Structure 1
Amino acid sequence: MHTYKSLYLCSVAKYVCKFCIRLQSTARGPSAPLGARLLTNPEDIFQHNMWDHVQWTEEEKERAREKAEDNSSVHIPLAEQGKFDTEACGYWDRFYETHRNKFFKDRRWLFQEFPELLPLRLRSPLADVSQAGNSSSGRTSETCQDHSSDPPPQHRDADSPVCPTSVDAQAAHGEETLVTSFPGQHADFRILEVGCGVGNSVYPIVKSIKETGAFVYCCDFSPHAIQLVKEHPDYDQSVCHAFVHDLCEEGASFPVPLQSLDVVMAVFVLSSIHPARLQAVVNRLTTYLKPGGVFLFRDYGRYDLSQLRFKKGQCLADHFYTRGDGTCVYFFTRDEVRSLFTNAGLEELQNLEDRRLQVNRGKKVVMHRVWMQSKYQKTH
């Protein structure tokens, strides 16, 4: 590890000047996303648990590529792969039954990175999504837990009119279904979180949107997870509706009409779906967005530490693995994310690769983390 530290310190020094210029260029504007704790002095590496916007050397990139190639060289036999798809709900249900609400932390960074979760009239003037663009500096606190390794430590010492609700065109069947009423029908701002788990995004949202005229829907295909959401003391039916839903089931409808949502959010969710199914899922979710609505996305990035930790024989497809508990995970690139959402007819507002250095100060170990964060808008 000391050799790795020496190599890393050398690579950091190479990028110090570049980072200083980037930080200065954003200091005059609104707070940019994904953190602003930059390692400008290599000797400071063990002073914090996490550093933002870490540049990889070509050697580090090659080592990561080789490691991923090696742990993907042995695939799970085709005869055994089907169960990870057909039994996915059961695997996740057992996961939540085992861990309940003790595995993930509440995502209190949500409104800093995703101010679009608030009606336009309640947002800070500096939180304009159009100014976030594809920049890559600022400050955040990513409290997502790594399901395949020890959780990383915490990193921090359109206002729209009511959409007509009479018709919900069920595109999968070519039918029209009369919708006379639905939860949140009187709200003037509606949010859907898919794959909500036990509510680590839901609770911060619910607390923030009370008495604002907004409403949040949340779903997961684990009945146990949804039960835990409903049992939480912050669950409030006047501003929230939780329900069981399988994103991959084409015939399943949401309890809202098409084009009735201002925001769809997927945080560490799409990675659990087989990559061959992802485009259909995003296409379908997009039909529920209003024109002007935004799709918010955060998930695992290619060559994240958790990908490199997989052993041979856990790979289902390229960059798609199954964990020991049967749950699955995919690791995205920026280009893949862009294709996924633009192919669904959405316009890119933000598409970032969040590269960080996680530090175990006690053991003097440094680890590369990679996450993706994106925002795409439905323009018509």
Structure 2
Amino acid sequence: MENIGSNTQRVLSEDEENKLKKQDQTLVSEFKSMKLEAEAKRNWDLFYKRNDTRFFRDRHWTTREFEQLLGIEGEGKKILLEVGCGVGNFLFPLLEENEDLFIYGCDFSPRAVDFVKRDSRFNPERMNVFVSDITEDSLKDFVPEPVDVVSLIFVLSAIHPDKFLPALFSVASVLRPGGALIFRDYGLYDMAQLRFGRGNKISENFYVRQDGTRSYFFSVECLNQLAMEAGFDVFTCHYVNRRTINKKEGVDEPRVFIQGKFIKK
């Protein structure tokens, strides 16, 4: 993956604009949309059943791109909550690189949390993982102390847009004043959004994959507004534009992510 060095919103070609218009011709029915919402936990659990721990590689890139995760100010133990911990691809590398860090981790999928607990690197003295739906559960019931950093990395996009604010209020409730929310997710006009065909679009910028899991594609304006409504100050928020290049297979595709840091007031 190659960084093309632009923080601006991607401009679509005429052909790409036509692809997006075609997506509007057949939207997911209201009945199917409600069914997808009701079966969200089941679909993510099946995802981890199919893919086991092999789908994602350990995310060592996060410590490069979010330097504050390794450089949390002050001395002594620091506390991080990773929402959407999956099978621990972010959690375990971070613990290896920071001896003074304690991590709480939660996931929607019971199977994912079980994978973390069965990993040979799991250390209950330095981590606590649990199953939680952050749009409904009170995180304070699981996290008994204020945390310094909350990470939402490719998590909010999997939640129905109507529940974005409840999710952000939930994570804000366990952050200390001045604590940071670290965010990364799919950006508007990412190649994955353009690949969806008719019958995959649920609502504006919100889609369903073949396996029943869902994905939203964020604009900077949308994310900033959500963060401010949830009681955060915007420290930084921008697009990360890259290209997936595989010369052997003739692949050259645009990737668009959105990345930000938000401070609890």
Gaps of 5+ in 2: none
Select 1:159's aligned residue among 74, 78, 87: 74
* Structure 2 equivalent of residue 274 of structure 1: 160
Pick the structure with greater CA Rg: 1
Name the aligned partner's letter for residue 285 of structure 1.
V
* Structure 1 equivalent of residue 147 of structure 2: 261
* Structure 1 equivalent of residue 45 of structure 2: 93
Bigger strand share:
2
- Structure 1 residues 67 and 328: alpha-carbon distance in aligned structure 2, compared to 1, 3 A threshold: same
Gaps of 5+ in 1: 1-48, 121-157, 161-186
Name the aligned partner's letter for residue 189 of structure 1.
K
> Residue 249 of structure 2 aligns to a residue in which SS?
coil
TM-score normalized by the length of structure 1: 0.66
* Structure 2 equivalent of residue 293 of structure 1: 179
Separation in 2, partners of 1:219, 1:306? 26
Name the aligned partner's letter for residue 193 of structure 1.
E
Name the aligned partner's letter for residue 100 of structure 1.
D
* Structure 1 equivalent of residue 78 of structure 2: 189
What RMSD, in angstroms, separates the aligned Cα atoms of the two structures?
1.9
Asked whether the equivalents of residues 302 and 333 of structure 1 are also in contact (C-alpha less than 8 Å), the reply is yes
Name the aligned partner's letter for residue 74 of structure 2.
D
TM-score normalized by the length of structure 2: 0.93
* Structure 2 equivalent of residue 348 of structure 1: 234
> Which residues in structure 2 correspond to 1:1-380 (within 5 Å)?
49-53=1-5, 60-120=12-72, 158-159=73-74, 188-210=77-99, 212=100, 214-251=101-138, 253-257=140-144, 260-379=146-265
Separation in 1, partners of 2:139, 2:184? 24
Separation in 2, partners of 1:230, 1:56? 39
Separation in 2, partners of 1:237, 1:91? 28
Name the aligned partner's letter for residue 112 of structure 1.
R
- Structure 1 residues 252 and 349: alpha-carbon distance in aligned structure 2, compared to 1, 3 A threshold: closer
Separation in 2, partners of 1:275, 1:252? 20
- Structure 1 residues 226 and 100: alpha-carbon distance in aligned structure 2, compared to 1, 3 A threshold: same
How many residue pairs get aligned? The number is 264
- Structure 1 residues 119 and 367: alpha-carbon distance in aligned structure 2, compared to 1, 3 A threshold: closer
> Residue 176 of structure 2 aligns to a residue in which SS?
strand
Asked whether the equivalents of residues 5 and 242 of structure 2 are also in contact (C-alpha less than 8 Å), the reply is yes
Separation in 1, partners of 2:127, 2:137? 24
- Structure 1 residues 72 and 105: alpha-carbon distance in aligned structure 2, compared to 1, 3 A threshold: farther
Separation in 2, partners of 1:80, 1:195? 25
Higher RCO (CA-CA < 8 Å; seq separation 6+): 2
Identity %: 34
Asked whether the equivalents of residues 104 and 143 of structure 2 are also in contact (C-alpha less than 8 Å), the reply is no
Deviations 1:101-148 (A, max 9, x none): 11011110111111222353xxxxxxxxxxxxxxxxxxxxxxxxxxxx
Separation in 2, partners of 1:69, 1:253? 43
Segments of 4+ moved more than 6 angstroms? none
> What's the offset of the Cα at 1:251?
5.0
